[in-house]
């Protein structure tokens, strides 16, 4: 009888040991996973930069995408998280592209307007140009004009400056959201370069 009772106690002890071991190793595994999540965040930063590069450089596109795929395969537990981030990035990228279209439309309108005002002096020559930095407020009113680069010709600079001063207000920017306005039109450069 005593033998059976000793065997039972031993068995209970072994099971407790097995359970404790399981609990111990299970906790170690969770810690390890959270570290990997940290790495995934770091990878997100890289991905973001690569998306930018893809936008500005088409030939690099395939190579970059391949790199992203390879890294994702190397680290399978991150796949779901990366995909979500990637979707988020894509959404951001789409928003930027949409904004770029609006920015381009407004830019063409501004160019067309100023071309209708600018009276080019006879001293203007091919290759001559003058740059002006414009600061405008949220209503589109030109608040400050700074000559960044002179053409070297007084009449040319004067005529360009006069065209900007006559323009006075870029009304189109009112329709932009604050962020896009801030990025592109709060401060930009006008270059007068006759062709």
Partner 1 sequence: MKRIIFLFFLALEFSADLVLEITESAIKPIKIAILEKNSNSFKGQEIINVISNDLKRTGEFRVLGIDELLSIPMNEDEVIQRDWLLLDVDSIIFIEVLDEDNALDVAYSIFDVSYNEIEDKRKVLGLPDSLRQSSHYVSDGIYEYFYGIEGISSTKLMYVTRNADIHELIISDADGFNEEVLLKSNNSIISPAWSTDAKEIAYVSFENNRAQVFTQNLATGQRSLILSSKSSVSSPAWSPNNKDLAFTSTKDGNSEIYTINLKSKKITRLTENLAIDTEPAWSPDGRKIIFTSDRSGSPQIYEIDVRSKLKRRLTTEGSYNARASYLDKSEIIFVHRSNSDFNIAKLDLSSRNLEVLTSTKNDESPCIAPNGNVIIYSTKEGNLSYLAGINISSKVSFNLPALYGELKEPAWSPFLR
**Footprint of partner 1 on this chain (CB under 8 A)?**
48, 51-52, 55-56, 92-93, 96, 103-104, 107-108, 110-112, 114-124, 131, 153-156, 158-160, 162-163, 165-166, 179, 182-185, 188-195
Q: Which of 183, 92, 186, 82 is nearest to 133 (CA)?
A: 186
Q: Which element (helix H / strand E) includes 48?
A: helix 2-56
Considering the complex, what minimum distance in angstroms separates the CB of residue 154 from partner 1?
Answer: 7
In the complex with partner 1, the residue whose CB is nearer, 2 or 116, is: 116
In the complex with partner 1, the residue whose CB is nearer, 28 or 101, is: 101
Considering the complex, what minimum distance in angstroms separates the CB of residue 176 from partner 1?
Answer: 12
Considering the complex, what minimum distance in angstroms separates the CB of residue 30 from partner 1?
Answer: 32
Instruction: Report yes or no: 104 and 174 within 8 Å, Cβ to Cβ.
Output: no
For 43, residues 6+ apart whose C-beta sits below 8 A from its C-beta are 71, 75, 78, 82
Q: Residue 6: helix, strand or coil by DSSP? A: helix
């Amino acid at each position: 009888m005593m033998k059976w009772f000793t065997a039972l106690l031993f068995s209970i002890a072994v099971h407790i040991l097995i359970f404790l071991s399981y609990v111990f190793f299970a906790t170690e595994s969770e810690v390890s996973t959270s570290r990997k999540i940290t790495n995934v965040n770091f990878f997100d930063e890289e991905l973001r930069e690569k998306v930018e590069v893809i936008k500005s450089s088409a030939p690099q596109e395939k190579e970059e995408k391949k790199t992203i795929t390879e890294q994702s395969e190397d680290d399978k537990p991150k796949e779901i998280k990366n995909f979500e981030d990637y979707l988020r990035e894509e959404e951001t990228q789409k928003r930027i592209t949409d904004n770029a279209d609006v920015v381009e439309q407004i830019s063409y309108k501004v160019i067309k307007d100023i071309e209708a005002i600018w009276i080019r002096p006879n001293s203007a020559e091919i290759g001559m140009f003058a740059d002006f930095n414009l600061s405008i407020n949220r209503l589109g009113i030109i608040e400050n004009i700074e000559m960044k680069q002179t053409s070297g010709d007084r009449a040319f600079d004067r005529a360009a400056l006069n065209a900007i001063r006559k323009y006075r207000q870029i009304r189109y920017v009112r329709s932009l959201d604050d962020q896009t306005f801030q990025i592109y039109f709060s401060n930009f450069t006008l270059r007068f370069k006759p062709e």
